[in-house]
Structure 1
């Protein structure tokens, strides 16, 4: 054994080597570093005696398996204390002072949560030690309306353990956005923020969350929908924060193999085919100490090569879709000193697909084989500068590349994409171009944040957070719409023995569209600079206030490096929690906040020629093709159409030339929402609680393009005279959300745990603002205003993402018998949700009924709602899922544990025709433009008659694919070992 001095020197030298290693890694990663808002929590409160007098000088210590070492502070003259930047987890808090009995309390801290822990110390003669244990979920007695779900619960339930399956359990969340994406509190699906370890993981265009995580590596997920601190911005809906594990002082790990087979399910009423192939997914995790309480590591991986059966739309041709994916995660945590901590995290994903469909496709020729390499980096520092001053910084980055996405043949015949104007489905050639260059989609950012505890004797304590963050949305790539840069949208199609034949009619039902890229992209750069301050003011035991203010400044440049977004906005965040009894059992909360989104780069760059295609659309006016009994093959049809085009050289009915016919006059402003909440939470017992919140949210500053007699005209390089469109924002339209959110949890003994969430809501207005294919889109309400009326073009009603009722009820139960052989845990999840609305709408002729006020390119047709926009609703969805988990330790309590888990989804095999959000239910409506047997009418003076002026398609309201129905009864299982 070495002498004390030598042992200490060795320990210091070892610590220095670890510190230098982490600093070296930090320096190596900085050149690519970039965004985040740090997902840590806070514990704070006040210590008093039995007469409610403040006690200064109390030593307060926190410890946790998630924390390296312990942290200690001393209460102020007002008895206040605070611990900032705590990693999410379970904490033990000890209060000690000579002359008083020590007190120990346990609390769970979620990401972004501020836990209030007020303590009353008793004289030492009355009690030597007091222990208080509180179980249940987090985010009660707070201004923030949030749900915290730990992965231990998710692992016990019959869910996929993905981020989507976790978010699905929270109130105020609806998976009714385009393509089934999540809307939170009524916002458009692209205006939420999803983060992993504080790094934004949403796609730059559609705002969808990418799978930058490994399920077994997730520690917990927090979904915040209202009352959000001023520390968070760039959203109008909600914030989802997922934390992955970080290792610890004890080595732990797992290996899991999950098995599924497309043949292990029933067939839906669509009567689709199945693929009998076993698909394993391998996951591993390993974490532990390199040096206890100083250096931790954590690694995880996931490997999968999945194959599933799919069918083409309308033709129902079966094919096998496959996805080969590898994910790898590394995280290292280093305590530089007991007061200073550094953490580096990295996730890498390699994903390749075969037979991928972009939108709804009708044939196998439209399938593609893309790949999507992606990675995520975060570097986080936190430090305690004094007992009441704290500082942290984070750099982070996400990089994604689109490769081989689209068609591979640039020939005019073989590379031109066709679309059926009646169904919107594509055929013949893939969308986009795989041989025209890759596309890069990256996020970068930097955050600095300080925290200061100001304690007063008469006005309580102020836990003040202040800081700066900057977020940069970057994208580079040319947006080719097909390999040839041409589309033909045909009148209809004929399907004979699985072969698609285009039906081409002259007039207004067949379009020829050219999408030329006139200037290569130089890369977009949409940066947001933000300042924020947030005061968590604990006045006394009865009142706590949240006083926050955020300032966001846009500096957005499009792919031609033009400054198109230069606005700024202030966002107040105000809230109060009233505890009538001062015990924390029952509290009433109220809050008001303004949330400001980041500018959608896909919209803001529409005025740039850099990488953005021009749109030159022409009506076909040649001979009809395949309108009778003839069956002309597709390549011959395309050749005839282009022969007519080359001879006729028609004028375009739509000409959108970025940089010429589209411009930004002033600036594109960020959309925003106003959020008002009134709620109550009640701690029924130490293991049961419930919370209810009434939410009212309104939205504004919608994206729009204005074309009127004041926006002017321009001549393009082809000699066409064009009407100029101006990209701007409008509040002519409206979008509103009102909801009652309920959530609760209840633990009975040590075996049964139950939880539930329920949302009663309405989302209504007259703007959808997004589509499946494009994500955010500009409204056309300001285009050619003389040619439409709001009551039939943009009627008010329940929007497509509206869902009146949504309930999730779950429970887990540990069986008391059989433990000598294995432990058995049952899990159940009941899902119930209302259907979503849709209406009957189509295109009608408007040009003959309006005197041209001077436009160069007349809008021949406009969209028209023949019914209320919410005239129809899909069926309500009901589904019961079950899980059984068997486990047994191999030896002592600390020995490895083997386990097997079995899931049965939709146990009762209930099928409901409910999913319209990704186009799987037909909504085709025909007018005189599509069907010559129907009559033209004057939309400004006549009321259309069904069967005379319009009619529903023959399959209106019917499924397009099996995904229109509830997931069929499905079996899957996994086996593994953990220690």
Structure 2
């Protein structure tokens, strides 16, 4: 952003207005004015790519779909030059405006004002109506940024780490399962749970663009943010290089053990790792000016070790995998380009599991080996054609593979066992397996898209089609005899637990024995059409209007549609006003709608015959057993408490007409942005913007236990639908006990049956509609890099409020996207308040200073206010169900008659975690060996102050009705300790 003005100031070309538009998702563009009828030529000196267009009657010209890079720009009329040659850097996703007129000065070099925009704000881009942050490979090399894409995204204002144990990043208050990630136009987002993505090493990328709002209609299937990246390419110059990264365990601070009521409940002081990476690359011409290659291989060594919370199990891992990646560019001619990109991020890990005595630091016998394979191969081919001066086309097809396969040697004979920290430790390892699942998943995305751009006078029309087929081949079960996972929880005698059972006298803990099994192949088909008009109503005022039409089709294991939504129309409307007419100051705004697809995990768990069987027993202590010379403990099962609960899945695929709303509406978000940006001079700029987001709808499971007819006695079961809205499912219409037709239930008023202690029907209750609103005010100040120093600062004041975070639950650590606990009964989401990704204050600063030509220092600072904490109970004042809720039983809690219990509401987000502070610092030594060979040595220290503050706590105030949880507010997740990283690279 804020780039355009500095460009115009540097060239001194006067009026900076022309038909502008967003660039495509793999490249950039150059646009501007010269004399009417003049020929304008752009040339990439490194590849020889040359393109010429003729300016229209107003002198406007445009070069769309330009690969990211450095260009020379010339204009001539009747064989005479118009102005002088301009040196222009084209950055990802941006339109750079250059106005060419006659002048007597020498050649213009724009490098000093950073037209390439490697930072957030360097000049005003009046053709953009979105909010985005561009970060180049060169800027990352100058800064202490850890070597992963998530760390790049966190540089952008309003982007933060998720507040759950399953990780991820949150954009603008959205959950971590709402983002999209692209590499060279290929969507590499995890579509199983929508949290994660395929990733390449930093050295493989050329530039990133982090879109935080207002993005154009070519981007969809997200209500969070977009991380867009392009990879490096070859040129006419042969180049090669190597880079090594070292993170030895000796450069890591000790992770703190954690204590509660004087007892150690997290043992982590012996957790550490050693990481070593080395990559080599080569690039250059295969045929000069025609065919180019870039190839990279990276060898990786990663050996982490960690103990379990009790300090009785030690796991030592060894990952020794190699990344490979390549890109080939064929300039068929100046009007037709073909490129091919491929990479593999496949990793294999072996974890050796030993018994361990923390107090004596003694490693015992080997208990198990755990194997895991992740990642896969990714590729795409892109064809770009400049059909005529005013019409261009880009076609892409590719495939994205992600494997996730975990298994252990002990899977056949060892059940996993876990306990809450308040349950006494047996003093030996729990169970003889640290594996909690035997899971295999292969996800394959096949994607194709076509994008077009057509210039018609003051209008630039962009339109296209996007289609992908996402297939998950999945199987999962727990290890051990019977495939059970045993969890031990504290309770009190007489308390009511999850399945409605009452804890017998004398028992202060119970065991949940859970079976969880599923298998099948599942497919989702997503497609979209879009059209967008960028209209310069006046030379200083741009209107951007677009429409996107999405369609999602989630299928069963038999290939039949069971959640199908189409004709989802997403309008986008934006404007940009060049207030002074010189490209230095603009007001911009954007209104848009964005739709979120249903993750494949829903296909699998609802339409795949899921068995989720939970049996509860009293806890009669531990049985100590021996395996391979080592001891381990399993729970002794007492009397069964309550019935077996298989309401979440009984192993069969039911009549999906009765389990899925026939007229389901999709999840979508509306967004409004208003901003101001100004270039103070060729280096300094600033901006302020306000954002408002409102999430509409949810797709989640509800238990429909009452229907409108038959006196409310009709039971449907768990239904995937829109909570708080009308739901149409197959059921019993004539009250004869047999489903025979469709029933419509207004779930805002009906659907949940309430009974008294004698089983008398009391009426129905409905669900509250899901609500999530986000508002923010963002300030930015930027100084562009000028070979001496750069600086960027941002502050975001924001609020995220409502009764539903989104498709996952960060506060209860529930990551099944779209099958949350938010709507399990009408009381679960009854209470509104501040949502888990609400951080009121966010400060971010980063900068680099060149002490000399050889030495640079860099810093990156983040200060973040805490996230909300809720004291969850179970149960509610209205019936006997027990799910996570916002009600706490305060008296008569052991009374089996639920109506006699007394509850109080527990407000959402009443408490907060502490502020967190993070300082990263680096020092870099640069040595030019000769004109072509360069040595770079960078030492970075992350979390310099070794802050290990609390990020998340136990939010369960009551785990059974009236049973206070002794570990409520116990810290669970923390900042990573300080570590050092040395990177040595040489380029030939």
> Tell me, what secondary structure is at the counterpart of 2:203?
helix
For the Cα contact (< 8 Å) 1:37–1:232, is it kept in 2? no
Aligned with residue 172 of structure 1, among 155, 158, 171: 158
> Tell me, what secondary structure is at the counterpart of 1:298?
strand
Residue 885 of structure 1 pairs with residue 890 of structure 2? no
Aligned with residue 553 of structure 1, among 551, 554, 574: 551
- Can you give the 5+ residue segments of structure 1 that lack an aligned partner in the other structure? 1-35, 48-54, 456-460, 494-503, 714-720, 851-857, 930-935, 937-948
For the Cα contact (< 8 Å) 2:403–2:442, is it kept in 1? yes
Change (3 A) 1:511 1:354: same
Residue 695 of structure 1 pairs with residue 707 of structure 2? no
Change (3 A) 1:492 1:261: farther
Q: What's 1:26 paired with?
A: none
Q: C-alpha separation between the residues in 2 aligned to 1:396 and 1:572?
A: 27
Q: What's 2:146 paired with?
A: 160
Q: C-alpha separation between the residues in 2 aligned to 1:516 and 1:950?
A: 27
- 1:277-356 alignment runs, 5 A limit: 279-315=275-311, 317-355=313-351
For the Cα contact (< 8 Å) 1:835–1:914, is it kept in 2? no
User: Cα RMSD (Å) of the superposition?
Assistant: 3.5
Aligned with residue 201 of structure 1, among 188, 202, 217: 188
Residue 96 of structure 1 pairs with residue 76 of structure 2? yes
Cα displacement (A) at 1:597: 1.5
Q: What's 2:610 paired with?
A: 613
Residue 237 of structure 1 pairs with residue 221 of structure 2? no
For the Cα contact (< 8 Å) 1:486–1:512, is it kept in 2? no
Cα displacement (A) at 1:845: 7.2
For the Cα contact (< 8 Å) 1:878–1:912, is it kept in 2? no
Change (3 A) 1:654 1:277: closer
Aligned with residue 148 of structure 1, among 125, 134, 144: 134
> Tell me, what secondary structure is at the counterpart of 2:951?
coil
For the Cα contact (< 8 Å) 1:745–1:754, is it kept in 2? yes
- 1:633-652 alignment runs, 5 A limit: 641=637, 650-652=643-645
- 1:656-805 alignment runs, 5 A limit: 656-657=649-650, 659-660=653-654, 663-666=659-662, 668-710=664-706, 724-730=717-723, 732-747=769-784, 749-768=786-805, 769-771=807-809, 772=813, 774-780=815-821, 782-785=823-826, 788=827, 793-805=829-841
Q: C-alpha separation between the residues in 2 aligned to 1:159 and 1:111?
A: 20
For the Cα contact (< 8 Å) 1:514–1:614, is it kept in 2? no
Q: C-alpha separation between the residues in 1 aligned to 2:372 and 2:648?
A: 31
> Tell me, what secondary structure is at the counterpart of 2:914?
coil
Change (3 A) 1:252 1:327: same
> Tell me, what secondary structure is at the counterpart of 2:838?
coil
Change (3 A) 1:862 1:299: closer
Q: What's 1:863 paired with?
A: 885
TM-score (norm 1): 0.80
- 1:454-465 alignment runs, 5 A limit: 454-455=456-457, 461-465=458-462
Residue 224 of structure 1 pairs with residue 224 of structure 2? no
Cα displacement (A) at 1:395: 0.4
Change (3 A) 1:489 1:969: closer
Cα displacement (A) at 1:265: 2.2
Residue 515 of structure 1 pairs with residue 515 of structure 2? yes
Cα displacement (A) at 1:205: 2.3
Q: What's 1:50 paired with?
A: none
Q: C-alpha separation between the residues in 2 aligned to 1:757 and 1:73?
A: 40
- 1:403-414 alignment runs, 5 A limit: 403-405=405-407, 408-411=410-413, 414=414
Residue 971 of structure 1 pairs with residue 980 of structure 2? yes
Cα displacement (A) at 1:549: 0.5
Q: C-alpha separation between the residues in 2 aligned to 1:290 and 1:901?
A: 33
Q: C-alpha separation between the residues in 1 aligned to 2:817 and 2:704?
A: 23
- 1:907-918 alignment runs, 5 A limit: 907-909=944-946, 911-916=947-952
Q: C-alpha separation between the residues in 1 aligned to 2:297 and 2:556?
A: 37
Q: What's 1:625 paired with?
A: 620
Aligned with residue 808 of structure 1, among 818, 823, 844: 844
> Tell me, what secondary structure is at the counterpart of 2:251?
coil
Change (3 A) 1:446 1:321: same
The CA deviation string for residues 413-460 of structure 1, in whole angstroms up to 9 with x for no partner, is x235555497999952455543x7x321111110011111101xxxxx
For the Cα contact (< 8 Å) 1:261–1:276, is it kept in 2? no
For the Cα contact (< 8 Å) 1:423–1:924, is it kept in 2? no
Cα displacement (A) at 1:230: 0.7
Cα displacement (A) at 1:603: 2.3
Q: C-alpha separation between the residues in 1 aligned to 2:421 and 2:610?
A: 21
Change (3 A) 1:340 1:798: same
The range that moved more, 472-481 or 214-223, is: 472-481
> Tell me, what secondary structure is at the counterpart of 1:403?
strand
- 1:335-484 alignment runs, 5 A limit: 335-355=331-351, 368-405=370-407, 408-411=410-413, 414-415=414-415, 417-418=417-418, 420=420, 428=431, 429-430=433-434, 433-434=437-438, 438-455=440-457, 461-482=458-479, 484=482
> Tell me, what secondary structure is at the counterpart of 2:403?
strand
The range that moved more, 699-708 or 152-161, is: 699-708
Q: C-alpha separation between the residues in 1 aligned to 2:409 and 2:802?
A: 38
Change (3 A) 1:45 1:859: same
Q: C-alpha separation between the residues in 2 aligned to 1:248 and 1:68?
A: 9
For the Cα contact (< 8 Å) 1:604–1:668, is it kept in 2? no
Cα displacement (A) at 1:96: 2.2
> Tell me, what secondary structure is at the counterpart of 2:173?
coil
Residue 925 of structure 1 pairs with residue 957 of structure 2? yes
Q: C-alpha separation between the residues in 2 aligned to 1:345 and 1:687?
A: 35
Q: What's 2:249 paired with?
A: 262
Residue 597 of structure 1 pairs with residue 596 of structure 2? yes
Cα displacement (A) at 1:839: 1.5
Change (3 A) 1:637 1:220: closer
Q: C-alpha separation between the residues in 2 aligned to 1:978 and 1:129?
A: 29
Q: What's 2:42 paired with?
A: 62
Q: What's 2:759 paired with?
A: none
For the Cα contact (< 8 Å) 1:486–1:513, is it kept in 2? yes
Change (3 A) 1:300 1:506: farther
Q: What's 1:541 paired with?
A: 539
Aligned with residue 253 of structure 1, among 240, 249, 253: 240
Change (3 A) 1:528 1:356: farther
Higher strand share: 2
Q: C-alpha separation between the residues in 2 aligned to 1:557 and 1:845?
A: 36
> Tell me, what secondary structure is at the counterpart of 2:139?
helix
For the Cα contact (< 8 Å) 2:377–2:401, is it kept in 1? yes
Residue 113 of structure 1 pairs with residue 94 of structure 2? yes
Cα displacement (A) at 1:129: 6.6
The range that moved more, 173-182 or 545-554, is: 173-182
Q: C-alpha separation between the residues in 2 aligned to 1:667 and 1:407?
A: 47
Q: C-alpha separation between the residues in 2 aligned to 1:800 and 1:250?
A: 51
Cα displacement (A) at 1:671: 1.5
Q: C-alpha separation between the residues in 2 aligned to 1:978 and 1:254?
A: 4
> Tell me, what secondary structure is at the counterpart of 2:374?
coil
Q: C-alpha separation between the residues in 1 aligned to 2:595 and 2:306?
A: 40
> Tell me, what secondary structure is at the counterpart of 1:603?
helix
Q: C-alpha separation between the residues in 2 aligned to 1:552 and 1:107?
A: 36
For the Cα contact (< 8 Å) 2:411–2:479, is it kept in 1? no
Q: C-alpha separation between the residues in 2 aligned to 1:863 and 1:670?
A: 26
Cα displacement (A) at 1:906: 2.7
> Tell me, what secondary structure is at the counterpart of 2:309?
coil
TM-score (norm 2): 0.79
Cα displacement (A) at 1:306: 1.1
Q: C-alpha separation between the residues in 1 aligned to 2:412 and 2:228?
A: 43
